[in-house]
């Protein structure tokens, strides 16, 4: 079996890059190889790069005797157009195709329905197997193809991340009443709602602190917002990675992530692996597995007053916080590790070839 996985440059930041970087550690290099698509680090953007990618792709699937092509699009115009060509090329050379949708834009879906419904349906029906991150997206795709061809999987966390977290959990004492937000600092991630919830709680919970870790286009505006409000006990360490990132997860009491829209937020999975209770919004793939009350709280209401109430319930009830921490740790070890997704993908590839 020979599989070719299309991927963005794995040295860059990004959800798909991160997943493939993790998978590359656990997939057999004799059976699975990666084909980099799009701009490389330090390279200027431009249409010639894409033409070169198509040419090199054809050479690779012919020369490498590839059996299965694994595409990793999101449902946005740029990705759909780009990967449609890779799909057509794969089928022209009679290769099997697996498509793993990592993101789903509602406005793009509506445009496809309105202007390109027939073409999109033909493309989706030609795919041998589809993986999505949520049941909601699966239901949407069943309008175009057989539901038996669509599987739901999670994004992943490195096994090594889990091992380091376990080490630190055995040797580190969590800080009381420290809330963590670790993500890109963008309005759509719910950062202002999280801060406003913190403001409500400052006078209700003693020694409460808030860590906002990450960079983003909204970071400076958020800092100015905090300054104008005169809010104390909020720190902005910026973008963190590696050991420092795990340290923030391990030392915190709760993870808050009131995002407006997601595929499957890796930061929530990382927080769960580190045993953190979660307060989040009902978005993306979280909807399918998140057990409300057992893992923390998931809500449709982003109102800061509501978020503050959910955070407070976890912080003041020690037994509840402890139970959630243990549950999240065990659940995530069973479901979110990179080695598990790699094993699942091998099963998918084998199933495609058997057909």
Per residue in 64-112, pLDDT (tens digit) is 889 999 999 988 888 898 999 999 999 999 999 999 998 888 888 888 8
With a cut of 80, say whether residue 173 has pLDDT above it: no
pLDDT at 318: 92
Residues 177 and 109 both lie in one domain:
no
Residues 209 and 284 both lie in one domain:
yes
Q: Percentage of residues in the chain with pLDDT exceeding 90?
A: 75
Name the one residue in this structure whose structure tokens are 């709280």: 297
Residues 180 and 322 both lie in one domain:
yes
Residues 232 and 109 both lie in one domain:
no
With a cut of 80, say whether residue 135 has pLDDT above it: yes
Strands in 186-259 per DSSP E: 209-213, 234-238, 254-257
- Asked if 350 contacts 1 with a C-beta cutoff of 8 angstroms, the reply is yes
Residues 22 and 41 both lie in one domain:
yes
* Cα–Cα distance measured from residue 334 to residue 96, given in angstroms and rounded to the nearest whole number: 30
At 201, which helix (H) or strand (E)?
A: helix 191-202
The chain-wide mean pLDDT, for the chain, equals: 92
Token pair for residue 99?
């498509």
- Asked if 191 contacts 218 with a C-beta cutoff of 8 angstroms, the reply is yes
pLDDT at 12: 81
Residues 78 and 49 both lie in one domain:
yes
pLDDT at 46: 61
Phi, psi of 323 (to 5 degrees): -65, -45
Spacing of C-alpha 21 from chain mean position:
13
Q: In which band, very low, low, confident or very high, does the pLDDT at 47 lie, cut at 50, 70 and 90? A: low
Residues 187 and 171 both lie in one domain:
yes
Q: Which domain holds residue 279?
A: 159-335
Look at the chain and report how many structural domains it folds into.
2
**Which of 40-44, 164-168, 232-236 shows the lowest per-residue confidence on average (mean pLDDT)?**
40-44
Which is more confidently placed, 282 or 49? Answer: 282
Token pair for residue 111?
């445009």
Domain CATH code at residue 25: 3.40.50.2000
Question: In 301-337, where does DSSP find H-type helix?
Answer: 304-316, 318-335
Residues 239 and 268 both lie in one domain:
yes
Residues 8 and 99 both lie in one domain:
yes
CA-CA distances (angstroms) from residue 348 to 128, 137, 171, 352, 353? 10, 19, 39, 6, 9
Q: Read off the pLDDT of residues 185-210 as tens digits, 9 standing for 90 and up.
A: 999 999 999 999 999 999 899 899 99
The predicted model gives 294-310 an average pLDDT of 97
Q: Are strands 129-132 and 96-100 parallel, antiparallel or unpaired?
A: parallel
Residues 198 and 308 both lie in one domain:
yes
The predicted model gives 328-341 an average pLDDT of 94
The predicted model gives 31-41 an average pLDDT of 88
With a cut of 90, say whether residue 346 has pLDDT above it: yes
Residues 173 and 231 both lie in one domain:
yes
Residues 289 and 269 both lie in one domain:
yes
């Amino acid at each position: 079996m020979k599989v070719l996985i299309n991927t963005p440059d794995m040295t860059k930041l990004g959800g798909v890059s991160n997943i493939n970087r993790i998978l590359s550690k656990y997939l057999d290099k004799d059976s699975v190889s990666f084909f980099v698509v799009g701009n490389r680090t330090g390279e200027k953007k431009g249409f010639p790069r894409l033409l070169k990618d198509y040419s090199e792709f054809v050479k690779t699937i012919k020369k490498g005797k590839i059996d299965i092509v694994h595409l990793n699009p999101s449902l946005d115009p740029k990705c759909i157009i780009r990967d449609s060509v890779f799909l057509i090329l794969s089928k022209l050379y009679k290769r099997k195709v697996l498509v793993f949708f990592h993101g789903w834009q509602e406005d793009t879906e509506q445009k496809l329905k309105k202007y390109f419904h027939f073409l999109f349906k033909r493309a989706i029906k030609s795919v041998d197997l589809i993986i999505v991150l949520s049941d909601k997206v699966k239901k949407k795709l069943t309008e175009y193809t057989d539901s038996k061809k669509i599987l739901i999987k999670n994004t992943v966390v490195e096994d090594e991340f889990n091992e380091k977290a376990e080490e630190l959990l055995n040797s580190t004492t969590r800080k009381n009443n420290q809330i963590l937000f670790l993500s890109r600092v963008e309005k759509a991630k719910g950062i202002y709602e999280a801060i406003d919830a913190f403001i409500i709680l400052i006078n209700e919970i003693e020694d409460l602190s808030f860590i906002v870790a990450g960079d983003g286009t909204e970071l400076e505006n958020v800092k100015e917002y905090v300054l104008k409000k005169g809010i104390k006990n909020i720190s902005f360490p910026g973008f963190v990675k590696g050991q420092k990132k795990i340290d923030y997860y391990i030392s915190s009491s709760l993870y808050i992530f009131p995002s407006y829209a997601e595929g499957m937020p890796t930061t929530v999975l990382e927080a769960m692996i580190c045993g953190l209770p979660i307060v989040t919004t009902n978005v993306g793939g979280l909807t399918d597995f998140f057990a409300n009350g057992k893992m923390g709280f998931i809500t449709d209401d982003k109102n800061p007053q509501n978020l503050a109430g959910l955070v407070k319930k976890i912080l003041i009830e020690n037994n509840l916080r402890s139970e959630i921490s243990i549950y999240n740790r065990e659940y995530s070890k069973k479901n979110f590790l990179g080695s598990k997704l790699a094993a699942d993908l091998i099963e998918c590839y084998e199933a495609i070839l058997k057909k």
